Amino acid sequence: LKPLDEDIILNSVKKTGKLVVADGSWKFCGFSAEISAMVAEKAFQYLKKPIQRVNLPNVPAPASSELERAYYPNCHDIIKAIKEIL
């Protein structure tokens, strides 16, 4: 996370009014939470839609390959999150 170029993120939010954060971790205490908090603190007034986060489900990681395909976020999950805020 460090160094994090906050200006790039904040300028994008100011320009678009939207934010989607894709993170290969859980929502709680993760990268997406930090980015969301930073934007909420510094650019909340520019948000036109709620922040969308694409993360792992809040359950332990599966051991089988079949369950892994459903567990880990993929490009379709990111596209779905983007469509929700458009």
pTM of the model: 0.82
pLDDT tens digit string along 26-77? 988 899 999 999 999 999 999 999 999 999 998 898 989 889 988 999 999 9
Whole-number pLDDT of residue 69: 87
For 1-86, strand residue ranges (E) read 20-22, 52-54
Question: Do the beta carbons of residue 35 and residue 9 sit within 8 Å?
Answer: yes
